[in-house]
Amino acid sequence: MSGLCLEAGATVLRLALASFTLAWTHTVEKLLWEEDWRVEPAGLVLVESRVRGSGAGMEPGPDARLEAGAWRSRLVRPPVPELVLARAPDLPDWQLCARGTCRPLGEILPAGDGPVTLRPCR
């Protein structure tokens, strides 16, 4: 397994993960959004997304089904080489979840308002 690398400024952190979940609160709708990702050599593969409502760019995918209060979608898409997550001090931080535990990125990487890039480690 190559693992997941997180980069913020000059900091690079390697996590021994084959999969993870990103969770965040939508800045306009104030609703929870979660995405499950798998780390593969070809890139990051979106496995499933869950959103607890819709509106302001949060429309569930065409295959979405409502389960336990969340729209769940499993659209098949090709791997992406990286995810770039914007951060700002006045916005709630992204949550990185793995092995049953979620932590804000600010607890994993130095706090800041610059982007965080997630990609498979090479």
**What does pTM read for this prediction?**
0.86
At 15-38, the pLDDT tens digits run 999 999 999 886 666 778 899 999
- Listing DSSP states for 41-94 in one string gives TTEEEEEEEEESS--TT-PPPTT-EEETTEEEE------BS-EEE---TTSPPP
Question: Angle at CA 17, nearest 5°, toward 40 and 101?
Answer: 135
pLDDT of residue 27: 65
Sites in the chain below the pLDDT cut of 50: none
Domains in the chain: boundaries: 4-115
Distance CA 113, CA 91 (A): 10
pLDDT of residue 65: 84
